[in-house]
Structure 1
């Protein structure tokens, strides 16, 4: 049975509708760019040391939970409804993960992985993504005043109604 090793909640303010969870690797900047490019096309993108996530909008905050597990957790039938769940792999050569658009400086600087450096499976689960996207698209169809009011409302959504992402990480093996 998979065991939850750690969980950290943070808030991101996504620039250009994007945030990345990543590790400092030799090609970290290139990996973040590639993950972002893939996420822009598909919602979530995986590159060697980065996971890019495209948010519904850049005008509202997104809540992100990063969980580390002893092995791949299951998605349970009783789990609350989600918009999508996408899996991939990512390498953490420096035994820390970071989120580039987090409002919390420790998360931008690096949080240690309980299982240490190595290759990890990763799953990104999105909640309220489609609802926030629909709100944003409907707001764009209104007048300038309606759009401004809708943006103000979106920035003030309670956490339960805001865009949320659950990122699960589990070790796949050790680097040699």
Structure 2
């Protein structure tokens, strides 16, 4: 059974209608650029150490909740209605995740992952009624050795 280990609520101000959850690993700027290009086409893009989320708000702020799970959580019938849920995998080789566009300085600086460095599954769930909100669920896919 999947167990939610933590949840961080934050407010982000998208940059050109996009925000990124990423690790500050080598080459992360190129990963962010590639993920952003994919998100421009499909709302969410995954590349290397980054996931990009394309928003409808620009300028403005949106709410995002980042949840860390022990394993991949199920989407149940109890889930509020959402616009989309997209899954992918990113490499969080630094053992931390961050969102540069967050209003919270600790989220900008980096938040440690309980499982440490590794490859993580990420699900982005978008809710656009009545306010634009996002849930990013993260779970270990493969640990680094």
Same fold (TM over 0.5): yes
| Structural RMSD (CA) | 0.8
Moved over 6 A (4+): none
Query: How many Å apart are 1:78 and its aligned residue?
Result: 1.6
Structure 1 segments unaligned to the other structure (5+ residues)? 132-160
The correspondence of residues 62-141 of structure 1 with structure 2, limited to 5 A, is: 62-128=62-128
**Corresponding position of 2:138:** 169
**Corresponding position of 1:157:** none
**Corresponding position of 1:136:** none
What is the distance in 1 between the residues matched to 2:106 and 2:34? Answer: 24
Aligned residues: 145
Larger Rg: 1
Aligned residue for 2:36, secondary structure, equals helix
- Taking structure 2 as the reference length, what is the TM-score of the superposition? 0.97
What is the distance in 1 between the residues matched to 2:39 and 2:99? Answer: 15
**Corresponding position of 1:61:** 61
- Taking structure 1 as the reference length, what is the TM-score of the superposition? 0.81
Bigger share in strand: 2
1:119-157 Cα distance to aligned partner (Å, 9 max, x none): 0000000001xx5xxxxxxxxxxxxxxxxxxxxxxxxxx
